Structure formats: structure tokens, C-alpha cells
Structure 1
Amino acid sequence: MKNPDAPQHFVKLLVVDDDEVDKRLLKRALRASGFEYELTEYSDALSISDISLLNSFDCIFLDYLLPGDNGLRFLRKIRDAGIVTPIVMITSQGNESIAVELMKAGASDYIVKNEINGQSISQVLRNMFRLNSMMREREEAYCALRVSEARLAEAQEIAKVGNWEFHAESNSFYVSHEIYNILELDPQKPVTFEMFLAMVHPDERAKVHTAWMDALEGKRYNIDIRINTPSGIKFAHSQGRSILDPLGRLEKIVGTFQDITDRKLTEQEMMRARVLAENSMKVKEIFLANMSHEIRTPMNAILGFTRLLYETPLTTEQKSYIDAIHFSGENLLVIINDILDLSKIQSGKTIIEKSEFNIRDLVNGIVSVLRPKALEKGIRLTYNFHQQVPTTIKGDPVRLNQILTNLLSNGIKFTEKGGVTLEINSNAAKKQDCVLEFKVRDTGIGIPADKHAAIFDSFVQASSDTTKKYGGTGLGLAIVKNLVELQDGKISLSSSEGGGSTFTVHLPCEEVTQEITQPSQSPGRTSPAPESIDQLIGAAILVVEDNPLNQMLARKVLQKAGCNVDIVSNGLLALERVKTKRYEVILMDIQMPEMDGFETTRHIRTQLQPPVSEVPIIAMTAHAFGSDVAKCLAAGMNDYISKPFQADDLYQKLLKFVQPSPLRVIPFKQAETFPHHKIDLTALHELAGENNVFIDALVLEYNRQTPAFVEKLKTYTKSQNFEAIRFICHQIRNSYGILKMAELDKALDKISKLLKMTDPGPEMTDVTKLVNTIIILISAINEAVTHGLRRTG
């Protein structure tokens, strides 16, 4: 009868016993155990030809005493063969010493013969099943561990990273196999700290030693080092941390060691590539800067002198020639600016500023500047603001000006009939934030659908015919797109061939709820008020410029405003001049021989004493990169003006620094300041006759005397040396009296009487006004003599 509590297992059993009685006893007990089984019997060990077959049994019952070979030796033989099947030893008596010996030899359990019954055998088999289960679990765990170790080794090999441990108590290292691979060492050879330190590059051993000392003190470390291996230098990353025991003592240090040679070499290659790219960009920037300088410098003279020519009497034909020169020069300047703008954008040197400005004023200024071009073509140029568009916003007015000017100019350029319209709308996003929408519509030639994407590429126009007919570089829209995207905006195009075009720009901005109080700056140039220019009359300006044409232009433009102008051709001469004469502003060219503008400015600021070291310096730069402007300001310059410049722009710059002075307060309007074309030179012509040598000598004498008189008058007026002023005025009467200039004679008479007053003495304000008048008049005479006396030569 089966034991109902016995597990329903089928087991394969082997019994090795030469005693038939014992075997029958075992069989009877097995039948009573409740287990279903298959039993294989052997009488002795010698009859088992293939010991490996023992692995196929679930349990082996082995008699302790066997003929030919006792059970203990056979047990050891089975275990030595790697057989792990549970073995239950059958003994005649329960001797503890025998039991211990059997267990040491590999027995799983033992049973005494006189205790063999169904219950004991059932218990033994249950124990064997549990043992089998434990052994399987252990084997599975062992296999899993081996798999895990294999995977870890594989991962370490792929990542080229190994792990290590340092045990403080034994002063020994455990090092994973991959570290041996990295260091190219024999895995059978133990690694010591001294051995490892010897492999570290000499320049980095101190770093490793410091890191190791930190680790011994309980700190973490993380370093990159170079190591010398048999195959050459490798880069490695090492990190480690300490583990302390419950008493706070160092137990061990654990860490990782990774071969980062490939990464370091890649980084070095990337660094070389970046340096090469930066150098290439720098070469390109230097080339463009030099090109800008070399083109803008003569362009300054070309455009400047054409403007001056406009102010002289011209025939209709002459005006048309000047128009052509000026138009060509402006076009060339646009091309240069386009190339430089695109280069700045590509090199990441374009900076987006944020300032408050009146958008209505800005748009009005742009349209005012471009409308004449539209009128010349007989087309309309209009704009319209939607009601919800804020008046004052925060953004970049310079870039917005550039974007709209480019789009409107394009519209005018490609439209022959109809017109161009700018529509401005606003879509409020959140409080104080908005997105401005600018739509530029034209009724021009339009753009084919297959060209819409390419039209925003650099140097691209819709067709070669377009380039031939309308000209241009094809950079305008590329610049616009880049500027829009730099401000997190978007631009789109709607157009068809022959159907006009609509460019739509969306730009995020910030609405300013409180209106700005300062007057907005329109992008269109506005001339300074005449009364403000009067402030420049008599101002001492030093021009440091090496180009003769630009020297001449600067002199003409400044003298037109009434300035006293001195010109030198390099920085060394400028330093000599500022030591002997006080100037109110220095206009400093940048690129000059002997000493450039940067070095000259630094010398003035650091080597000279106030007030000379504090003189305002305005850079005149033909370079156009923002970095050049920054260099000007960093060198100590107060402001800059780009070549070619407009006269009014230069006046505005000067007015920022030229302060009103009693010496330069005059009773005349600017138009009356230099009426040299009205000065009668008849007396000098009669005196000189046709003698050109005498004329040249006379001109040189006036050129020499006049600046000297002017300087002395200023000096003596400042020191209130009335006697010296009276003496100089007497000399002036002797030198200039031959011209019988009524205004000069009147001024000399007035100052003579004024300086003779004793009680009370002369009013200083009256003296300075008369001195200033005399300076203006003798300067006008000198100008007239210089330019009018040689007419017959």
C-alpha cells in the first residue's frame, strides 16, 4: 500500500551491494516508500564498466563493504570522475567517525542497514530530492555566474575598461583580465602599485601619486593619464573610491581603468580640424577685412569727392557723369557689404542686440530712403500698419532695418509697373510678447515655383537672364533668411512667374508698454541742424590718415564745417603733434605704416598725461567686422565711423565730443563763415602779375603765417594776455591789410579799442568773440589765396 503522503515521483535508482539479503530489504523498503522507481543492481564496483553512466541515476545506494574494492574508495573514484549524483552509503553500524569520513569523501547521506524501512528510505529520497534541487540551483547559479562573468569580460573588452580592487589588510591588488590587456602584461604576474606607477608617463606620475594618496585618505579621484606600454603610449581614464569598515578604517579601494586612446586621438584630430577650420575662417576673415579696407579706402574718396562736386556749379552733362560715378560707387559698396554680411553670419560673428525702438519711425525712415528709387522707376512704394501693432517694441532695430531694406529693395528692383507694399501686422502670443508679421508684396516679375527653395541660397538668382538684366550678387535673400532665423523667426515666399511675389517674415519681439522718451533714430540719414554744426566751427581736429586722397577729402569735409584741421600720415607723427598742440578730437585711421591706429591710441591713453591722454579719438575704419569695432573700443577709442562715410554722419560723431567754447562763439551763420570765394584778390594779382614763382612764395607765406597767428591768438586769449593779443592783431593788419577786407579791418579796429580800455577792463566775452571773428576771417583769406591766386598760373 502506497504512502499517501509520499511524493508521486518516478526515480531511477542504482544499488551496488553484494548481499542479496540487504538488497531484498532495500527493495521492500522502496516499495513501502510510496515512490515509483526503476532499480538497477550491481554486485560490485568492478562490474561497472563506464563510470560516467552513473550521472543518469537520481540516487545511488552504495554498500560500504564491497568485494574487490570497498565502497569508500569507489565513492572517491566516483567523485574524482566528476559524478555529482547523490550517493547514500549503506553501513552495518552507525559509527560517527565512519560517517564523517564518508561525508568528507563525498557521500550525500548514509543509512544503517538495520534502520532500512519504507519511512527511512522515503526520508532519504526526500533529502536526495532536496539535495538534487539545491545542487541544480547551485549549478544554475554557478552557470549564471560564469555567463555573467563572461558577459562582463566581453563588455569590458568592448569598452576597454577593467575593474580593480586594493585590499588594505593584505596590501594586495585584484585586477580584472581587461586591465592586463590594456597594460599588455602577463595575467599570471601580480600587479603592484609600484609596477603600475613605473608604467605611467613621467610627466603624470605626480598626478597619479596625489590621486592615490587621496584615495588612501578616503577621497574619490578621477583622472586621465598616459601610460607607456610595450606597443606605445596609451591614454587611460582611472577613477576610484574608498570603502571603510564600520570603525571608519580603510577596508579597500575599488575603481575602474579604461583605455581611452581612441577617444583621445579622435579629440586631438577634432581639435586639429577645429583649429584648421578656425585658422581657415581667420584667414578668410583677414582676407575679407583687407579686401574691405582696400576697396572702402578709395571708395571713401570716390563717393566723398562726388558729393563735394555736387555742391559746385555743374552743367547738366557734368551732373549726369557725377550721377553715374556715384551710382556705380554705391552699387559696388552694396556688393561689398553683402559679401561681408554673409561672411559674418557664416562665421557666427553676427550679434543680435535687444533695445527699445519705435517701429513706426523705423519703417517710415526706411521707406523715405527707398521711395526716391521707386519714383525714379515710376512705381509706388507704400506701407500700412495694422491697428494692433505696438508702437514701441524691444528687438534689434539694425537687423530689422537690414531685413526690410533688402526685401523692399528687391521688390523695387524687380518691379517695372505697379508698386511695392509693406504690410505690418501683429499676433499677440502672451502678455508683453508678440510676433510681428511683415509682408512685402510686389507686382514684379515673380519667381517660378521650382526656384522658391533655391532663391534663399547664397549667390543664387531665379535665372541667368535675371542676373544679366537686373544685376546683383544673389546674396540679399540669403542674408535676410539668416538674419531672420538668428532671431528665431521664419520667412516664407508666395510667388509665381509673372505674378509678383510676397515675402512674409515672422519675428518674435517684446512689446514695450511704456513709450520710450528719447527721439527714435530713423534709418534714413538726417542732416544735423545748422545751429548744431556751428558748434564745430573753429574746433581743432587732428586727422591721422595715410591715404592722400582721403586726407584731402577729410580736410575738405571738416573745413566745410569750420574746423581747424591738421593732418599727419601715421601714428608716430600723431604722437609728436599731440605733444605740441591741444586737439578737441582725433580722427584715427586704423591701418597705417610706422604705427597703426590701435598702437597709437594705446600709447596716447597709457603713456601721455592728461589732458592729452583724455582726448576723444574716433576710429576711421575701412574694416567692417564687429571684431574690428570691438578692437577699436578696447584700444581706448571713443567711437568709430566706417569708410566710406557721409559728411553728416561724421559731423554727428564729432558733435558728440566737441564741446561749446567761448573761443568758437561767432556772430555769423555757418554759410558766412568761409566766404573765401567773395574775397577780392585783385591787389595780390596785380602785385604778383604773371610771376608764378612769386605767387608760389606768396601762397606759402600765407599758409605759414595763418596757422601761427591762429594758434597765438587762441593761446593769448586763454591766458588773457591782452598786450600780446594787441601785438598779434597789429601784425595781422600788416600782413592782410593789402586786401582791404572791410570785415577784417572792422574787427581789428574794434579789438584795438577794446584792448585799450582800462577802467573797467575789457570784457573777456567780447574779446573772445572778436578774436574768433578774426580767426575765421584770416582763415578764409588763407583759403582764398591758396585756391584762387594760382588761377592764372
Structure 2
Amino acid sequence: MKNWGLQSRILLITLLPLIAISCVLGGYFIKVRLDDLDTLVEQRGLATIRQLAPACEYGLVSGNKEVLQKVANSTLNELDVRSAKIYDRFQSELVHSGPDMKALDEREELPNEIQILHFENSIRLITPIFAQNLASYEHLGVSSIGRNQDELFSEKIGWAELELSLTNTELKKYQALLTSCFFLFSGILVCTIITIRFSREITTPLIKLTQAVESIKQGNLEVRINSESGGELRILESGINSMASSLKTAYDEMQQSIDQATEDYRQTLEQIEIQNVELNLTRREALKASQIKSEFLANMSHEIRTPLNGIIGFTNLILKTQLTARQLDYINTIKKSSEGLLAIINDVLDFSKIEAGKLVLDKTPMNLRDLVEDVLTMMAPAGQDKGLELVSLVYSDVPADLIGDPLRLKQIITNLVNNAIKFTNKGSVIVRTMLEEQKQNTVTLKISVTDTGIGMTEDQQQELFRAFTQADTSTTRQYGGTGLGLVISKKLVEHMGGDIGVESSLNQGSTFWFTVKIQKSDDTDTIHEINRLMEKKALIFDTHPTARLALSHCIQQWEMEADEVDDLQILEELALQADESHAPFDIVILGVGQEQLESQYILETIRKLQDQLSLPVIVLINTTDQQAVQRFQLLNVSCLTKPIISAKLHETLINQFYYPENINKHNLQQQTKQLTTIPQQAIEILAVDDNEANLKLLRTLLEGLGHKVIEASNGAEAVKKIQQTLPDLVFMDIQMPVMDGVEATKTIRSLDERRFLQVPIIALTAHALSGEKEALIQAGLNDYLTKPVSEEQLSATIAKWVDKGSPNSPSERLIHLPQESEGSERATSETENNDHAAKNSALEDSNQLETVCIDECLKLAANKEDLAKDMLSMLLSSFDRDIPPITEALTSGARNDLLNSVHKVHGGTRYTGVPKLRNICHAFESAIKEDASDELIAEFYNAFTKEVDAIKAWSESSDWLS
């Protein structure tokens, strides 16, 4: 109906009421007419039977059937009468005229009054007959009648029955119905014709108007309308003609404007083309400047970190010597200043990496509780020097095992805690960790750092999270810094899919918060230790309410019961009451501040708990209160530092409950461990650095670990010395004159002898740009250390890369092949059957691997698709260069050349998702090193070339690299 035209709507509006009224009235009058016909036939029957009854009196009284038959026959002459019957007073049929009547239902007697019976095609009427006109029958005599007059007047003398046919009535009904319908439809048809005729006078002009508007819409602005109509249509026609005329004028003006604009645009394009050329040149200069900036950052990092390495390193060495109090103060100042400068450099370099989009987040397993506790432990001395209480509050619904970047998370939390300590002179710094949302294997965590410091105004808050800005920018500001810490934190949080903000009021402290999305660890192999602290009962004392709450949460996660008090006297009373009620506490944990340390009451309380109630006691003291440790140890009390580390607390509780004899022994071992360093087995190390101070520091640190050190001042000198005396390990500086560390490493790896492939080379570099480590590893170095290096880093690296069982036998180590099993022994005189068994095992394992695994390509490239494609493309392009030397070495029997060539391809497979080829290369290289038979080498070569062809075929058929 929505799509109907105007004429259809006019017809509908006009005819629908007419048809409805006509149908209602016509139906009504037809119904009345039909009812009248039915009534008429009944009335006619009643009139006929009323005339028949008196006419039958004489025949019934006299018993003359002939008279009755004549009367019945004469009744058939009446309209619609079909048949007639007359019954005597005994209801016996006397005469019948006409066709047989339809049999009636059985009944006892005929009715006492007129009765009308309706049938499908007839009507039957029955009436009783009384002797009402007896006077006219006096000549008959009573004897002839058989009854006296009184009896005749009081009784019925018979009945008359008529049957009327409805055929004529039905015919009249049909005639009336057809006549009514004819006149009804004729009237509707006439009205329809009249309506259509007059509607055209409206629709025809409108159609012309519509066609004209459509023509104007298509661009024909010359069209005009002349429909010769009047009224509103004439006004509409005039308006459309005026509109078309106006549009024509506007179109002409617009066309002129377009022509002019086109000419202007052409001239502008010429100017833009010139500007594009200039911008292209400017862009090239900007890219070159960006590259120079990156190189400058790398060089600046090296040039600044190199002297800092010497300053911090030698400062640490001086601190180990005997110094006066003033000298110790000076050296500590130098150390703090150097570390502060190093922190500033790190902030600038981190900010540069983030701005350059080269920040890559790691995904490693971590425990968030341990991470936060590590940060607070590291920051504890600075906070406790100012008398601050540092508290970590991790809510129970926070998952323990997560996968993320712990170093970057620690960097964010450290920045916020450091700022909180910096701007807080008294009170506390509280770190809260809570679960915001959990979806499948991803959780959203919220970490907040609340302090009681100086706070900020709203204007100062708006200046936060901007590079090189601080809340107080005046020259007399009390707190310094680069202003990059919060900016870096904000960028890191955004990289982790979260947000960061601050809530603060002036002189009322601040709360910095951030959210991060972290993946839950799906490691199901973790073996959970049986909870040995279940149902143990602890009594906790601390004057700081949040510290008590955090400690209570910590021990409740091990299903222990905890009661908290903030008064030592109440603590004694509770302990005594619990003991008397036969529900004693199992342990007492005392958080001791500076005020309690200066009082003897704490020592008396501990003695009472131990002597009277035999309760073990754990004392929590500040990191800066180490002189109090000895006093508490004399009382057989375990001492832990604040802020509390849950793992250490758990270990101490276990020792208190199950191994009390080991408490003091454990504390003594911990102190001894801090004062002594277990020397490593002496090895020979080549130290390469062009900076004399750094080289001297490196030598001093390594010799302090008990190792023999050979020095070289550049890469070329290192190559010569490594050829003269093969060391067990090489620490290689990267940026050096004559020959840098990367080139020197490549030269060493390219030497003919196998032993030069096996010596571990560790990069020592001050470069801090993204991708540096990957580039160094790909160049042939084994590991990476960033300057400045510490004694602990050197010791851990040596332990990682040097075989402790045979440090002076580098020929038996395969350091750069991490998939080989350590300590495996293979005899060089293995039989041919064993060779074939090894070959079959390696090839069977390879057959279960994929030729190219895109997921592994992405994983090895830190989920960077472009980098993954580039790495795989580089491997493919290297085949044409690296495969011919392998074939040539195999043909000539030069095993060293074959080993070098296979190792080169093997190294390339380490960084791409080609697990099958990598496995074959590993087995191939191992077989060469073990002097396997020529037949086995040939079989590995065949498998190797076949897999190379398979990778090439995959690259041609797959569109992933395109």
C-alpha cells in the first residue's frame, strides 16, 4: 500500500466507504425481503387451514367422506398447497388429497391448537376442528349424530393437516437476491467510473509535475510544466517552473566557478608537485637525521657507559678495602652519583626506544607477588632512612603464576615507588595489587601506589606524564629528576594494554595507579607443596594498621589463623588468655619499629612469651636496623627485614614449627653468604676492550673470581691471541678501533679449526637499542651483557657457558649448540650398525616435524610478522650461497670445511620456523663432529638437500612471504 499511486489512493478513499455502506444496506434489505417471503408463506398457510377447518365440520359431524374429499381437493387449488389430510376425532385419517406427506415422528395424539412444522422444502400445518356451527346441522338430528349437542360443543370432532411447498418461495428469494445484487453492483460500477473520471483531473497534472521533477533531477533544467490546471496545482506548477529556472541559473554560475576552480586546482597541483619534491628531499634528510640520531644514541650510550663502568666498578672495589669514615662517605657519594647518572641515561635511552617504536616486551613466567616484594626490598633502605613504612598488599584473588615482562613491570612499579618515597617525608607507601577482570586466560590487574606525601594540585596533575616535565618546574624546586620516569611508565603500561592515572590532593598524599592485561600461566606441571601451616595460629603485632593487614593476608593464604594487635600489653594478655583457654597461639610475629627498638619493653615481652608460654617469636625489623639483629638472635629469635618477603616468611615459619634447631644456623649461613663468595674453578679468559679503565676493571673482577685473564685492546689483537692461546671464554667489547667485536667474532668463527667454533664469546656492550642482542647472536656471539657489569653478572655468565667438569678442554664442549645433551659420551669407534641406528632415529624424529611452521616463525620473531618473513626470506636466499660449499666439501672429503658450512646453515635455522631442517642440521653437524662414517654423512646430506628443496617448494607454493 505504501507504493500505491495517487489515483489508487483516491479510488480507495472514495470507493471503500461506498462499497462498505452499500454492502451493509444491501445485505440488510435482502435479509428483510427473505424473511418477509418466509413469513408470507406461513401466513398464507394459516389462512388456508383456518378456512379448511370450518369447511370440514359438516363432513365430520355427518360422517360424509365424499364431502370431506371435495373439501380437501378444493384446498389444493390454493397457492403453494401441496397436499391435505382430514382426521376424525379418533385421529384416524378419513381423506387425503395430493402427494403423500412426509411421515411424522410417532406421537400419542394430534395437537390441541394450530401447529406449524418446518421441513427442508415444505411447511406442514395441523389444526383441531370443533363443531362451532352446530345450528346449521339441526336437520340431522341427534340420533344421526350419535351424541347430544353439549358433547359436540365440548369435544374435538377431528383435525385438518396441510402441507405447503416452499419451491415458489425459494424461487422468489433467488429472484430478490439477484435483483438486489444487480442494482448494488451497478451502483458501485457507476460510482467507480465517475470517481476515476474526476480523479484523473487531479492525477494527470500531478503526473506531469512528477515527470518534470524527475527530468530536472536528471539534469534537464530546460523543462517547463503547463498542465492547465487550477488552484493549488497551478501554484505548485508555477513554483516548480521557478525552481527549474533558478537551478538553471545556479548551474550556469556553478559551471563557471568549476571551470575557474579547475584552473586554480591545476595550478595548485603544479605547486604541490614542486612541494612534494621538496618534501621528499626533506623526508630523506629526516630519515638520515633519524638514523644519525639512532647511531648517536648508540655511541652516546657506549661513550657514557664506558667511563661509568670504570667509575662504578672501581668504586665497588674500593668499598671492599679498609677506608676511613670520611673516605667511605666520599666513595658512597661517588657510587650514588654514578648510579643516579646511569639511571638518567637509562631513562633517556628507554624513552628514545619507545619513541622510535622499537620497544619489545618479553613474555616469561613470573610471580607478581615476588616481583612487588623485590621492588619494595630494593627501595626499602631509601624509604626507611626517612622513617617510612613500605607495605605490599596483594589481594587473595590475584593469580600467582603469570606470563609477562617482569623487568618492565618492575620498572613501572619502581618508578612509582621511587616517586612516592621521594615526595613523602613521613607516613607510609602502600602498594596494592588487585584483580580487576578475568577473561579466560587473560587477567586485568590494577596496581596502586599510595603515599602520605605532599600531594599535588589539579594543575600539577595535568602536567604529569609529559616528557621532561615535573610538577614543580621552578629553579628552587626541592626534588630533581629528568621527568621521564612517569612518561616511560605510561608508555610501558599502554604497550601492556592498560592505563595509568593519579588521584591526589595537596598536602594529603597521592595514589598512582595503573592497569595491565597479563596472560595467566597454563603450566600444569607445577608441583604444589603440601600446606604444612594449615590451622596454625599466629598473633601479629605492628603499630601500622596496613602493615598488620598485609601480614595477616600473607599468612592467611597458607590457611593460618591470625589475630592482630597494636599494643604490646594487649598482645601479652591475649597470649596468656589463649594459653589458659587451651587454644594457644602457635607463634608470635612482631613488627618492630624504631620506637620499639629504642625501648627495652620489647625484649622483656619476648622473654615473657618464650619463658612463660614457650611461644616462638619472629621479629620484623627495618633493613636499616641490622645492628639489632644480634640482640634478637641472643634470644633465639628469627629476624626478617621489612617490607616482608612472603617466601622468606614461609620458610622461617616452617623452620620454627618443624626445624627449630636450624634457625640460628640458617641465619649464620645467610650472613656468611653475604660476606663471602664461593670461588669458581679457575679458567682462562680473554678480555677484549679498547678502554684501558674498563679493561683493568674487567681484569680485576675476573681475577677476583680466581680466573686467569688475557687482555686485548681491539678485535685484531683478540684474533691473534685466540689463535696463540685458545681461552675457555671470551668477553668481547663491541665498539673498538681497528676491528670491532662483531667483525672479530666473525673472523674467529671463520677460522679453519673446529675449536674456534666452540669457544664461547660473550658480548660486552654499552649499546641499548632494540634488536642489538639478536644482531649480535646472529653474528656468532653466544651471549650478551650490558655495561656496566657487576661481579655477580660475570660469575653467573661464566657458570652458564663453561663446562665445570672440564674447563680446560674446550674441544670437548659444544657451547653454541644448545640442543645437544650435556655430558653425552660417544666413542669414535662406533660400528656401522650404530651409525645407521643413530641416523634412522634422527631422521624418524625429523619426519614428525613440519617443513615450515609459521607460528614458530612468528614466535622466534617476537610475533613481528615482517621480521619473521624477513628472517625466512634471508634463510631462503642463503641456500644458493651456502649449499654449494657443503656439496664441494663433501665431495673433496674436507670435514672441517663441511662442518663450518653445515654449521652456518644450522645457525640460520635457529631463527626461523623450519623445525625439520633444524633437526636434520643438528644431527648432520653432530655426525661430522663425531667422525661418523662416510655412508652416514652421505645419508644425512641427502636428507639435508631434500629438505632444502622442500622448503624452496613451499616458498613457491605459499603466498605468506608475498
- Structure number with greater Rg is 2
Query: Normalising to structure 2: TM-score of the pair?
Result: 0.41
Bigger fraction of residues in strand = 1
